[in-house]
Structure 1
Amino acid sequence: MNSVPVIRRRAFPRTPIMKLVRFRRRFGLARRHGSLRPAYSALLVAALCVGHALPASAELALAQYDQPKYPANFTHFDYANPDAPANGTLSFENYNELQTYDSLNPFLVRGAPAPDILNLMFDTLMQRSWDELASEYPLIAKDVEVAPDLSSATFHLNPAARFSNGDPITAADVKYSFDTLTSPKASPLFNAQFSVIKSATVIDKSTIRFDFKHAERGAPLIAGDLPIFSPKWGMQPGGKRPPFDQIAATPPISSGAYLIEERKNDKQIVYRRNPNYWATNLPSRRGMFRFERITFKLYRDHYTQLEAFKAGDADAVVEYSATQWARKYVGKNFDNGLLKKGDFADGPAQMQGMLMNMRKPMFQDPRVRHALTLAFDYDWMNRMMFYGQYRRTSSYFEASPFGATGMPGPKELALLEPLRGSVPPEVFGPMLKQPTTIAPDSLRGNLRVARDLLAQAGWHYRDGALRDANGAPMMIEIMDDQPGVDRLILPYMQALGMLGIQAHMREIDSALYEKRLDNFEYDMTTFIYPPVTIPGAELTRRFGSAAASEVGSENYPGIRSKAVDSLIHAALSADNLEDLEAATRALDRVLIYSFYLVPEYYAPGARIGYKSTLGHPAMVPMSYQYEDWVIDYWYTKTPAAQTTSSSAASAATAH
């Protein structure tokens, strides 16, 4: 069985930037928006005329810092190729960890949505840029006015905006979309995403105002991320509309670039580009969606998926296994130049680790959690199983200016001092260095420290097991749903066994996994917090106390900490980038020293196998979701370009 470094796709919106990790794509929130991470931040600059009436023809952008990169008259994003061919097809394999789908509604809790349906069929008011910290440009909305006190944002819709049935997109449709997504009929993750919005008010047919609950400078960008769908979706012949949470089998009335052409079964779906898509030549869309058809084929196991790609049955695949990438991407089609391997750089990295559910009494003592982190031998795994392709995760804001390093600075200390006594005392010292097993350090030495921590917490080894004061043994179930992940978990379980901990792994199917995850029914499980270009509202969803008891929330460890809440508030209310960095670094120290998860590792970039018939823009975005970059911006090269590429590959092979 191949090792599967668990870089997953589960979690919540990328809404600006969502790094491919186990995103909770089932809710579609890993969107194509700009930079792959929920960059709902604390600061906003509305380019040009913020707070003033805007000319009806103005094309304005929103930026959280400084000015937007692109001027009002820009023609396309730098990472898009507007001259790329706009024909051809793309055959793609599993879009995420789901092996089947049973729903055409990506906004529900129930069901597994069709692969990438939110990205391909639902446009948003504004489009995130993938090569800026956090900026948005016109899409369904042609411009926006932000109130001087940041209490509201008014969007003016593009009069050319249309649904796939030809209906104009109106302010009433936008309000319907907002009201629906923030209702109990939709996934609570959407309600959390748009929680800063108090209400949506229709001003006229093409104008809608969003009022905010408080003056959060990132709120207008959050409103710009709203996906739009038609009230007629699912409407019955007599004009009756079924409850939204019962619309699952009816194809959406698309506001995006694609339509559903064919559904063969619960493992295949074909999307066809809408020939009447109104936004094709908008600057935020030019050079995007270059495939006439996109086919998804879902495989039940990674081995079959890879073999199908190697046989030419798929055009591209994103690889998350270091072993597969190092050893399996070989064969005649690689030798003859039909298939290629590409390593593409990426921006900030995710926090990946085995989180501990503090709703379980055995994990409530931080000394126990600290001990469990010491039993993970990253160095051995990276050397023996991952071919040295990974880097150790040591921050919730890895490889970004928002992560803590070294000693806390003056502004960090100003935030931490009022919390002294309610946060680990270590946060006032140097940032934690993750345990290593490189000589002179060793796993045995780390386990001795872990044993002492467990003893301090009241856990002692006797009668063949680690037991608490009442004699109950520590038993941990590590839950997962990915085949092959046992090669990661079993060595960890062996190390826990040396401490007397009775750990076992339970591998379940993805549907049951999602259900148990949503309801917090687990001891430990591997999870990834997608990276963000600028931290913001996702902090509340991930670490806020209120989210700990909300079914379906992202606070999977069950963090309930007034200190953490205080630092999240400081981040959300920061008035400049420097203050935001101080708040997130202070928060990072508290989270790391609280040992809510066992930090694992991350890949520094994307590993993509693809046919040589595919081309991609010369510029790689600053941060992006790997699959969506291929789907949204790659293209089928012209025959002449393919011939040139093939000849070059043959010459290189001969040489």
Structure 2
Amino acid sequence: MKFAPLLALGLLLGLAAPALAQTKPGVWSHAFTMQGEPKYPEGFAHFDYVNPDAPKTGTVRMGDMGGFDTFNPILPKGEAAGGLGLVYETLLTPSLDENNTYYGLLAKSLMIAPDYSAVTFRIDPAAEWQDGEPVTAEDVVWSFDKARELNPNSAQYYADITKAEVTAPGEVTFSFSKTDNRELPLILGQLSVLPQHWWEGTDAKGAKRDIGQSTLEKPMGSGAYELASFDAGRTITYKRRADYWGATQPTQVGTDNFDEYRIEYFLDLTVQFEAFKGDQFDWWSENQARRWATAYDFPAVADGRVIKELFPQDYAGSGVMVGFVPNMRRDTFKDERVREALNYAFNFEELSNTLFFGQYDRIDSYFFGLPFRSSGLPEGQELDILNSVKDLVPPSVFTEPYTNPVGGDSTKLRENLRTALNLLSEAGYKLDGTRLVDASGTQLSFEILLNGPTIEPVAANLVANLALIGVEAKVRSVDSPQYINRVRSYDYDVIYTGWSQSFSPGNEQRYFFGSESVDKEGAQNYAGIADKGVDALIEQLIAAKDRPTQEAAVKALDRVLLHHHYLVPSYTLRNTRAARWDRFSHPENLPEFSSGFPSIWWYDAEKAAKTGGAQ
């Protein structure tokens, strides 16, 4: 499933694992669920976790790093503006207190073919674009075709969909090349729908628009907000539409409570934090342990105008892998022993003691935080799956549980570096004085590319330890636009990045780790993985006939990825660390799988009066 870090999906733990897809085929349904039955019946009034009487007023100001240079939401190049999800809508929308369950938005209902060879969506006749024109099935087909034509990620994601066509007035049917990929209805429900008539029309100057080109023309969508103003690359303001068609729809009641939604952009994280302290925007998601522990001593925190809070909900239904990812498109990292050696040079325990204030856990799974991650040795159905591809996977997956090296003191570090040096020697390197060189006398060296300076102290730990065994690693921090462009074109030796995983891993694994994506610019196969064993496990995962098989396939894939040493796993915190100016309120009980900010929060005039500043 398409992953969504802040709109995390989950599985109700402790219950027997149900079949993988429970929405009944052959009948029209108001919802799609991957497990069990949808919580909310057809015709429900609103989600339980919203305040249907929330006031509709005020402004919320968000901060972001980088900039933007286009309002075109589907192109793989350029930096799309934040907030376009406020303008454009999807066929279905998720419930934040259920696991893998989506309800109708632009689509009033859906029907899955009895043999799972197709899904049909029936467009809500009330849905309309900002100009009053109806949202049509033709818009859906056009949006799908253009996304697949212009965006390699979309083409990869929709690989098992053979065509989209209007099959009746207001109905669009997607046909599948397989009948065992039961996640496809959900994937298509996440499709953002664009107005064909607008994109094929002309702008205010009479020039014909082109969906294949970047644009800074004000976009037109069907969503609750429209773009009000912007300063290219610096700030965007969206305003809530008084004539929004979906304001009384069950999934939208109690949401979109702000009159204005503003995004302020920054090029430097330190400057951005100072701007937050100066009340230039309202919400700060902290990504640095030291700052969270030591930098909130300014007056607004002391007097209660700024509140610090942890939100575990944002991670309740998602997993993550993050770390230093070597690019195997470079010859330097094709040898697995070189990649493994890097992990022995990373001293997480020292960083935890000196830099992280004990806030983080070391990651040891590509699905860290999820109950179906791999551990120990394979057994049961997972072992059966691994045996089916035994000749394609590392033999160690059957005999050695994956563990990260443990450091923390000088003795352990010396042992780890000795192991790293042995691995590198096996790979053909040798020490020449203080330099580790290959057979031609060239020193092993590479560059670690970072998106800004935040991770520099962490990378410095790896660099310093590698230097002790003769490896020359350098750190280069660049601004977000340059970083994004280099990552898209795979122009790097090593980057610090990762993947978020949902409770229902599926088709997205192809463009995370699949051979088909290795040469596709803009895919998320950052490591350059092209491995037959990994491919085979991904296909078994996607074709899983029930939940137990899906979980077993995930464990098998996780185990094989780990044993190939495709990255140096780093660390994570299973909470959102958030600071906010205290001018907002939220429902008493937040949903299980999201903090819901700002979508279900609202501006509280009484609180705002006490904080002063922005209105």
Secondary structure of the residue aligned to 1:426 is helix
Equivalent position of 2:497 in the other structure: 527
Matched AA of 1:206: G
Distance 1:203 1:616 in 2: 43
SS at match of 1:511: helix
**CA apart distance, 1:233:** 3.0
Give 1:565's match in structure 2, choosing from 528, 531, 535. Answer: 535
Equivalent residue in structure 2 for 1:268, among 214, 235, 240: 235
Q: Would the alpha carbon gap of residues 453 and 300 (structure 1) be closer, same or farther in structure 2, given more than 3 Å must change?
A: same
Matching residue within 574, 579, 587 for 2:557: 587
Judged with a 3 Å threshold, the aligned counterparts in structure 2 of structure 1 residues 111 and 315 are, in CA distance, closer, same or farther, namely same
Aligned partner of 1:651 in structure 2 is none
CA change 1:256–1:15 in 2 (3 A) is farther
User: How many Å apart are 1:35 and its aligned residue?
Assistant: 6.4
Query: Distance between the aligned counterparts of 2:197 and 2:296, measured in 1?
Result: 46
Task: Tell whether 2:93 aligns with 1:123.
Answer: no
Judge conservation of contact 1:257–1:274 (CA < 8 Å) in 2.
Answer: yes
Q: Whole-Å Cα distance in 2 between the matches of residues 264 and 250 of structure 1?
A: 12
Alignment TM-score, normalising by the size of structure 1 = 0.87
Instruction: Compare 409-418 and 142-151 and name the one that shifted more.
Output: 409-418
> What is the aligned counterpart of 1:376 among 343, 346, 350?
346
* Pair 1:414 & 2:388 matched: no
The reply to whether residue 540 of structure 1 matches residue 510 of structure 2 is: yes
Match of 1:332 in 2: 299
Structure 2 residue corresponding to 1:43, chosen from 12, 16, 20: 20
Q: Is 1:392 aligned to 2:362, yes or no?
A: yes
Q: Which residue of 2 aligns with 1:193?
A: 157
How many Å separate the matches in 2 of 1:541 and 1:130?
26
Cα distance, 1:401 vs. partner? 2.1
Greater displacement, 369-378 / 228-237: 228-237
Decide whether the 8 Å contact of 1:15 with 1:34 is kept in 2.
no
Judging changes above 3 Å, is the alpha-carbon distance between structure 1 residues 477 and 63 closer, same or farther for their aligned structure 2 residues?
A: same
Aligned pairs for 1:60-459 within 5 A:
60-94=30-64, 97=65, 99-117=66-84, 119-183=85-149, 186-215=150-179, 216-234=181-199, 235-236=201-202, 241-345=208-312, 346-347=315-316, 348-438=318-408, 442-459=412-429
Question: Which moved further from structure 2: 416-425 or 493-502?
Answer: 416-425
In the TM superposition, what is the alpha-carbon distance from 1:386 to its structure 2 partner? 1.4
CA distance in 2, matches of 1:300, 1:359: 30
- The answer on 1:465 being equivalent to 2:435 is yes
Is the Cα–Cα contact under 8 Å of residues 201 and 209 in structure 1 kept in the other structure?
A: yes
What's the CA shift for 1:408? 0.9
1:105-157 CA distances to partner (integer Å, 9 max, x unpaired)? Answer: 1211222121222x211100000223333111010001111001101111111
* Distance in 2 separating the partners of 1:42 and 1:249: 46
Q: CA separation in 2, counterparts of 1:439 and 1:308?
A: 39
| Range moving further from structure 2, 165-174 or 421-430 | 421-430
Q: Which moved more, 1:147-156 or 1:71-80?
A: 71-80
Write the letter of the residue equivalent to 1:17.
Answer: A
Cα distance between partner residues in 2 of 1:35 and 1:267: 35
Q: Distance in 2 between matches of 1:617 and 1:532?
A: 25
C-alpha deviation, 1:440, in angstroms = 9.5
Q: Distance in 2 between matches of 1:569 and 1:524?
A: 28
| Change beyond 3 A, Cα 1:265–1:523 | closer
Can you list the C-alpha shifts for 1:546-586, whole angstroms capped at 9, x where unaligned?
A: 11121211111111111111111111111111111111101
Which deviates more from structure 2 when the two are superposed, residues 168-177 or residues 125-134?
125-134
Q: Percent identity?
A: 33
Corresponding position of 2:14: none
Secondary structure of the residue that 1:452 maps to in structure 2? helix
Assess if the C-alpha contact under 8 Å between 1:405 and 1:430 holds in 2: no
Task: Please tell me the residue identity of whatever aligns with 1:312.
Answer: D
Q: Aligned partners of 2:435 and 2:19: how far apart in 1?
A: 49
Contact 1:42 1:572 in 2 (8 A): no
Equivalent position amino acid for 2:25 in 1: V
Amino acid at match of 1:320: N
Distance, in Å, in 2 between the alignment partners of 1:169 and 1:150 is 26
Residue segments in structure 2 that go unaligned for 5+ positions in a row: 12-17
After superposition, the Cα gap between the structure-2 partners of 1:153 and 1:33, relative to the gap in structure 1 and judged at 3 Å, is: farther
Once residues 411 and 242 of structure 2 are traced to their aligned partners in structure 1, the CA distance between those partners, rounded to angstroms, is 62
Structure 1 residue 89: Cα displacement: 0.9
What displacement does 1:430 show?
4.5
Q: Report how far residue 69 of structure 1 moved.
A: 2.5
The match for 1:17 is: 4
What is the CA–CA distance in structure 2 between the aligned matches of 1:35 and 1:316, rounded to whole Å?
25
Q: What secondary structure is seen at the aligned counterpart in 2 of 1:164?
A: coil
Q: Partner amino acid for 2:91?
A: L
**Alpha-carbon distance in 2 for matches of 1:440, 1:270:** 53
> 1:35/1:404 Cα in 2 relative to 1: closer, same or farther (>3 Å)?
closer
Q: Which runs of 5+ in 1 are unaligned?
A: 1-13, 20-31, 647-655
Instruction: Quote the residue 1:554 is aligned against.
Output: 524
Structure 1 residue 265: Cα displacement = 4.0
Q: Secondary structure at the match of 1:278?
A: coil
Match of 1:449, as an amino acid?
T
Aligned AA (2:401): M
**Contact residue 21 and residue 546 of structure 2 kept, 8 A:** no
Output the CA distance in 2 between the equivalents of 1:338 and 1:332. 8
Deviation at 1:248, TM superposition (A): 1.2
**Separation in structure 2 between the aligned mates of residue 130 and residue 16 of structure 1, nearest angstrom:** 14
Segment of structure 1 superposing worse, 75-84 or 610-619: 75-84
The equivalent residue for 1:10 is none
Alignment partner of 2:98: what SS? coil
Structure 2 counterpart of 1:11:
none
Contact 2:69–2:232 (8 Å) recurs in 1: no
Paired with 2:425 and 2:508, the residues of 1 have a C-alpha distance of 36
Q: Indicate the larger mover: 435-444 or 106-115.
A: 435-444
Query: Residues of 1 paired with 2:496 and 2:443: CA distance?
Result: 23
Shift of 1:241: 3.9
Change (3 A) 1:399 1:189: same
Tell me how far apart the structure 2 counterparts of residues 143 and 484 of structure 1 sit (CA, whole Å): 45
Distance of 1:82 and 1:387 partners within structure 2: 41
Give the alignment's TM-score, normalised by structure 2.
0.93
1:291 offset after TM fit, Å?
0.7
Shift of 1:421: 3.9
Out of 621, 629, 634, the residue aligned to residue 601 of structure 2 is 634
Secondary structure class of the residue paired with 2:193: coil
Give a deviation string over 1:488-547, Cα, whole Å, max 9, x none: 111210111111111111222222212211111111110110121211111111111111
Call closer, same or farther: CA 1:536–1:522 in 2, change over 3 Å: same
Deviation of 1:174 after TM superposition, in Å, equals 0.9
Name the residue aligned to 2:484.
514
Q: Conserved in 1, the CA contact under 8 Å of 2:373 and 2:554?
A: yes
Bigger shift: residues 525-534 or 156-165: 525-534
**Contact 1:15–1:33 at 8 Å: present in 2 too?**
no
CA contact (8 A) 1:34 1:127 kept: no
Distance across 2 between alignment mates of 1:181 and 1:42: 31
Contact 2:2 2:508 in 1 (8 A): no
Give the aligned residue type for 2:96. Answer: W
Alignment-mate amino acid for residue 415 of structure 2: G
Aligned equivalents of 1:61, 1:33: Cα separation in 2: 18
Q: Secondary structure at the match of 1:189?
A: helix
For 2:8 and 2:210, how far apart are their aligned partners in 1?
28
